[in-house]
Structure 1
């Protein structure tokens, strides 16, 4: 195995459940575990990995599509769980019993060294108690996960700029959402500054943040009801091209799935 960088797979991304896998020579981790333990185990098997080899789960926020399988996996494989203090308080009752030595605080806005990885946490704008996402860094390579936010501030854009790869939210198409069956209160929530990025918002965020290192953009957290994979992809590609960015040449755009892992990829 090369000592350069790390490998990753987006095991699942969508409104029904989210789970991201990353491995370095020293560590194997998940970010969120928003599906059943059984489903996550089968997704890991798709990339020829096993849950018993995991070291930790890093939690972004307490919503069910991000923590559904955290307690089960943590108990079964005695994994360390990292989240900020407020998220711990919000999710603890949903995880079941965990040993004290499995519970770790990862404060928002801090960078933690975890084995051979450096992990930076940053706050986002979402209707959870204290949602935070992560930038993973090793050997001058980095991967940013940025979903579940209603907007991207200049502060956030500065933290995540010029990563080698991104998992960026393309949650909904605004017109499909507006004309769809969701109650008005839920539509307002999704469209608000505490909701989710639309296809256009995700593209605009990438235009602001990608740099000459960026090689891969993955579209994440697509809504089953309020988006179409091809539409999300086309919106991202078209907006990047309109901004005179060499999409398809300098970097590529990839889709993710709510129930199928992306190939294990070297950064």
Structure 2
């Protein structure tokens, strides 16, 4: 199983998950050109994709979906609410017939030789979801755009070998930053985004000896920076109720405008 961030941040998101025979994208929130360049760096053509999974219909997750889909006609998978949101997004243009496939929260399905399980997340979209992927004995998950987490979230993220986890903002930077008050309230709310501290606490709840890699993602351009997210999450692990220290966890921050190293499990 391989995992790679092609782009991650408040301005656009696209994650690759795959193996030797199955190639998947989670979200297409960047241009077709950037998606193709990212895939090319992985030695994969757009036409070789087995599926595109969409977490929710916000523009930073679907911006390139229309153009990319019209060129390659790759099947698209999303919840009913997210499909409704995609169909209402006029900026995507006309989507090719028959490409949108509805998936159900907590109901697994298979693409190639990878089992996919959508799980519910708390965000201000129609029916947002995270995704868990399993192939043989390895499993990875994408969990971004969640304003809060609970025991259900922790359960969905158990026994992973790698995870892309949101560390969106530093609370103090957000509070004193340029965002208008309603937007600050939205980001800090239960249907907003995870702060660095909450990301570290959630990670502390899912750590185990076989979690081989953590990618911190979806950082805010205005209210966070890479080193702060990285150090804050490490600190939360070190002071948390778990047997690990932050510097023991292999972890990196996904960049907004460049492809990450490939995590191979």
TM-score normalised by the shorter chain: which range applies?
A: over 0.9
Matches within 5 A, 1:174-193: 174-193=171-190
- Offset at residue 91 of structure 1 (A): 1.2
1:79-118 C-alpha deviation (Å, 9 max, x unpaired): 1000111111111132332333312111112111111111
Spell out structure 1 runs of 4+ moving beyond 6 A.
none
For structure 1, which runs of at least 5 residues remain unmatched after alignment?
A: 1-5
**Are residues 1:60 and 2:50 paired?**
no
Larger mean CA deviation between 19-28 and 254-263 belongs to 19-28
- Offset at residue 171 of structure 1 (A): 0.2
* TM-score normalized with structure 2 length: 0.95
CA distance in 1, matches of 2:206, 2:18: 25
1:36-58 C-alpha deviation (Å, 9 max, x unpaired): 10111122223333222212110
- Offset at residue 264 of structure 1 (A): 2.2
- Offset at residue 238 of structure 1 (A): 1.4
- Offset at residue 246 of structure 1 (A): 3.8
Matches within 5 A, 1:199-218: 199-218=196-215
The aligned counterpart of 1:139 is 136
The aligned counterpart of 1:3 is none
CA distance in 2, matches of 1:99, 1:45: 24
The aligned counterpart of 2:82 is 87
CA distance in 2, matches of 1:193, 1:142: 27
CA distance in 2, matches of 1:259, 1:54: 22
For structure 2, which runs of at least 5 residues remain unmatched after alignment?
A: none
**Equivalent residue for 1:229, pick from 211, 226, 233:** 226
Matches within 5 A, 1:110-149: 110-149=107-146
The count of aligned residue pairs is 261
**Are residues 1:101 and 2:98 paired?**
yes
Larger mean CA deviation between 168-177 and 49-58 belongs to 49-58
- Indicate if the aligned counterparts of 1:18 and 1:33 stay in contact, CA closer than 8 A: yes
Task: Report the secondary structure of 1:99's partner residue.
Answer: coil
CA distance in 1, matches of 2:239, 2:31: 41
**Equivalent residue for 1:22, pick from 17, 24, 49:** 17
**Are residues 1:245 and 2:244 paired?**
yes
- Indicate if the aligned counterparts of 1:31 and 1:59 stay in contact, CA closer than 8 A: yes
